[in-house]
């Protein structure tokens, strides 16, 4: 079954109202590795309820898109889908608890050609459910490796942020736990690729891999720690391209270049020297 361009572009996600609790905020923080040092007061502020803060990257789980491409009606070969890019723009600081309303839409579907796959560009809006004021805008690119040649538009393709050619201004190493994917999946991503060894092997991996959005959160933690003094109000935008998987237990090194309020970054796995997040763009105030 091939992609029906008009049907997929008009996909109705409906409106979701989310009652968010401090426990969910703590679970997200633990899922991306905060609390590794349980007596670090900076990390404790995101995992312990008195005076609790919320991580900026938590917006991606406040507004989950679920695995909607698994629906046969989409026409997508979901087993060959990979996460291409993710971005967050924050309009106001996320709170650790409250009511949010989310809306999602498909912006465009790019046909790269037969045997070359397709790109689905999406946007999700997060607003305060009581005031209806915008909180965050989330963009996502999904690469559907098995679905090119359906007759859709061939462009325009979004351009990636170019990293500086000089040496990084800052680096930050953060560990991941062997069981981190099993913790992170409790945020709502139940893809068995991250938990079931048989599914991982079927997909070509030696063992379950870490969620791309978990790696995204670990790198966000690095920027918050290194450039923001753990002040979540200072991180206003955070965009990345996913380039390779991480295995739970590996160390993620985030390399950062700062030019005023613009931060360019990428992340690599120290043990294998493989870049796992690339062409990162952030705004820090």
Is 273 in the active site?
A: no
Q: Which residue among the candidates 37, 42, 169, 189 is catalytic per the annotation?
A: 189
Q: Which residue among the candidates 111, 147, 194, 239 is catalytic per the annotation?
A: 194
Q: What is the largest CA-CA distance in the chain?
A: 56
Is 194 in the active site?
A: yes
Active site residues: 189, 194
């Amino acid at each position: 079954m091939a992609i029906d361009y008009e049907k997929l572009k008009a996909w109705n996600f409906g409106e979701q109202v989310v009652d968010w609790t401090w426990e969910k905020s703590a679970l997200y923080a633990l899922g991306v590795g905060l609390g590794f040092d349980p007596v670090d007061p900076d990390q404790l502020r995101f995992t312990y309820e008195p005076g609790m803060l919320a991580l900026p990257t938590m917006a991606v789980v406040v507004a989950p898109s679920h695995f909607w491409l698994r629906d046969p009606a989409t026409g997508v070969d979901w087993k060959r889908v990979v996460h291409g890019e993710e971005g967050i723009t924050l309009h106001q600081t996320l709170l650790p608890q409250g009511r949010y309303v989310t809306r999602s839409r498909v912006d465009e579907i790019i046909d790269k050609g037969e045997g070359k796959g397709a790109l689905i560009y999406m946007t999700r809006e997060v607003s305060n459910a009581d005031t209806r004021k915008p909180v965050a805008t989330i963009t996502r690119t999904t690469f559907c490796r098995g679905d090119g040649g359906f007759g859709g538009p061939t462009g325009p393709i979004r351009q990636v942020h170019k990293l500086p050619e000089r040496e990084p201004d800052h680096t930050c190493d953060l560990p991941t736990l062997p069981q981190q994917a099993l913790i992170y999946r409790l945020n709502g991503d139940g893809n068995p690729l991250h938990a079931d060894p048989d599914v991982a092997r079927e997909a070509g991996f030696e063992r379950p891999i870490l969620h791309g959005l978990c790696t995204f959160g670990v790198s966000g933690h690095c920027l918050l720690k290194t450039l923001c003094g753990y002040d979540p109000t200072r991180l206003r935008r955070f965009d990345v391209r996913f380039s390779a998987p991480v295995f739970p237990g590996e160390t993620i090194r985030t390399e950062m270049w700062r030019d005023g309020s613009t931060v360019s970054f990428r992340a690599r796995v120290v043990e294998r020297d493989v870049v796992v997040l690339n062409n990162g763009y952030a705004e820090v105030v």
